[in-house]
Structure formats: structure tokens, C-alpha cells
């Protein structure tokens, strides 16, 4: 156990959310890179922190011996710890948690699947899956844009952990083949977040503490490493991870 917050992660959306919050709260934290292509998420020491074997994991001296996993749970923990970015009043609080859960249950998993079937795999390789997740993504981006036409932030009135959780996915809109000009409110929201000093600090920290090692281990990954990472078995079409731009 350390006397400082330690974030175990990589340059990926679920980790970025937590860095955004740590920076907004101006907390002092260390970042430790987990080389997922090298299977470090399945090392015994890592699995003791998160038996599911996924990043992010946050170690907090205020929770001795209790590393936290699941980005949404980490965001709620930090919001309650710092009394920031999660409204205290019942209605706005419930709405903020509800939208955080929409991100965790819908946006993250469904857009993540579209990454696999339209970016990692060459388009057209798995038409059924690609069409299924494209339709889901179209709806999710539409809902978000419609919502943001009515309000400045996603939920609760102010910038909150619901916005932070959604932020990394705002950048996939064009990569997923959707037109930014058809989603003006989403783009306005995305730009407003990008202008926040804490967000700029967060991206600088990720670039400095995670990107070089992430890039090195991704390039060094063998075909076998990639097969294990993507859970591929014999006969599954080859994947190319290079199209998935990490932010």
C-alpha cells in the first residue's frame, strides 16, 4: 500500500475518465502502466487487485487494502471523497448516476464492440456484427446529441462524472463513420470539455506516463499476444489494431 493515489492503467477510454477526474480534483497521483498486450493484467499481483483482469484500478490510501476497479465505481468513489462533480441534491444526483450508468452499460460496451467489428477488423469482415453495432452506435450518438441540444451538460445541471465518463467516446463519432455536422450539440459539448484546463492536463499526463510504454509494448506484441488479447481462436479473421486511435 502506498501513501499516494496510484492509478493502474493504459491509454484507453475507461482509464482516461479516471485521469480526467483526478485532474479536476487536483489530486496527487502516480500512474502505473499495465502492458495489456503482454498480459500484465493477468499477473497474480494485478488479479489480486481486480480479479476480472481489466484496467483501470485505483489504489487509494483512504481505502487501505481495497483497490477499486470499474471506472464508474472509481468515479463515484472520487466524487464522494472530494464532494465534487456529483450533485448532493437527490434529483440531480440520481440523474447523474443514471447517465453514468448509461455510459457504463450502453455507450462503452456497444461502441467498444463497434471498434472491434469496424476498426480492428477490416470493414465487411463480419457484416452481421458490424451492422448490429453500427445501428446501436447510430442510436446512441443520436440520443446524446438530442439530449445535449436541451442542456449544456449531460446530467444534473453542471459538468459532472457523467460527462467525464462519456468524454472519451465523443471522439469516436467520426472514426465510427458518423457526420460531425449532424451532431452539432455533441461537438459543442466535446469542445467545451476539451477547453477545460484539467482535461488538457489529463491528456498531457496520459501522453507522458502511458503513451510511450503503450506504444512500445503494442509494437512488440506478437501474433500470439494479439490472439490472446482479442480472445481469438483458430479460424478467426486476422485483426489490425492500428486503426484504433487511442487518445
Binding region for ligand GSH (CB under 6 A): 12-15, 36, 41, 53-56, 70-71
* Nearest to ligand GSH of 159, 169 (CB atom): 169
List the one residue out of 104, 86, 167, 176 whose CA is nearest residue 139.
176
Cis peptide before 52 (omega within 30 of 0): no
Task: Give least dist CB 149 to ligand GSH, A.
Answer: 27
Whether 85 and 24 have beta carbons less than 8 Å apart is answered as: yes
* Cβ proximity to ligand GSH, 70 vs 227, nearer residue: 70
Say which residue the cell 462524472 belongs to.
161
Q: Which is nearer to ligand GSH, 43 or 138 (CB)?
A: 43
| Least distance between ligand GSH and beta carbon 56 (Å) | 6
Query: CB-wise, 19 or 183, nearer to ligand GSH?
Result: 19
Question: Which value, to the nearest 10 degrees, does the dihedral of the CA atoms of residues 201, 55, 3, 1 take?
Answer: -170
Q: Write the CB contacts of 152 (distance below 8 Å, at least 6 apart in sequence).
A: 189, 192
Minimum separation from the CB atom of position 163 to ligand GSH (A): 16
To ligand GSH, the closest distance from the beta carbon of 33 in angstroms equals: 12
DSSP assignment of 187-209 equals HHHHHHHHTSHHHHHHHHHHHHH
Q: How far is the CB of 12 from ligand GSH (least distance, A)?
A: 3
Nearer Cβ to ligand GSH, position 71 or 183? 71
Least spacing, CB of residue 9 vs ligand GSH, in Å: 8
CB-nearer residue toward ligand GSH: 54 or 102: 54
**DSSP secondary structure, 54-112, as one string:** -S-EEE-TTSTT--EESHHHHHHHHHHHHT-SS-SSHHHHHHHHHHHHHIIIIIHHHHH
Question: Which residues have CB under 8 Å from 78's CB, separation 6+?
Answer: 18, 21, 22, 25, 27, 58, 161
Amino acid at each position: 500500500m502506498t501513501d499516494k493515489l496510484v492509478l493502474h492503467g493504459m491509454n484507453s477510454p475507461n482509464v482516461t475518465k479516471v485521469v480526467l477526474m483526478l485532474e479536476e480534483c487536483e489530486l496527487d497521483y502516480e500512474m502505473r502502466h499495465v502492458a495489456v498486450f503482454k498480459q500484465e493484467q493477468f499477473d497474480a499481483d494485478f488479479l489480486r487487485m481486480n480479479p476480472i483482469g481489466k484496467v483501470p484500478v485505483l489504489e487509494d490510501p483512504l481505502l487501505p487494502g481495497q483497490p477499486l476497479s470499474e471506472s464508474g465505481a472509481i468515479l463515484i468513489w472520487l466524487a464522494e471523497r472530494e464532494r465534487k462533480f456529483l450533485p448532493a441534491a437527490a434529483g440531480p444526483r440520481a440523474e447523474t448516476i443514471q447517465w453514468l450508468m448509461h455510459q457504463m452499460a450502453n455507450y462503452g460496451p456497444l461502441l467498444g464492440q463497434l471498434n472491434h467489428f469496424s476498426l480492428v477488423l477490416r470493414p465487411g469482415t463480419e457484416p452481421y456484427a458490424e451492422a448490429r453495432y453500427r445501428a446501436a452506435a447510430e442510436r446512441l450518438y443520436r440520443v446524446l446529441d438530442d439530449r445535449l441540444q436541451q442542456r449544456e451538460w449531460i446530467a444534473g445541471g453542471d459538468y459532472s462524472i457523467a460527462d467525464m465518463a462519456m468524454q472519451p467516446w465523443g471522439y469516436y463519432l467520426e472514426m465510427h463513420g458518423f457526420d460531425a455536422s449532424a451532431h452539432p450539440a455533441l461537438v459543442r459539448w466535446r469542445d467545451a470539455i476539451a477547453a477545460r484546463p484539467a482535461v488538457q492536463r489529463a491528456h498531457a499526463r496520459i501522453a507522458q506516463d502511458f503513451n510511450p510504454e503503450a506504444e512500445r509494448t503494442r509494437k512488440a506484441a506478437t501474433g500470439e499476444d494479439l490472439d490472446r488479447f482479442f480472445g481469438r481462436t483458430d479460424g478467426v479473421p486476422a485483426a489490425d489494431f492500428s486503426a484504433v486511435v487511442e487518445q
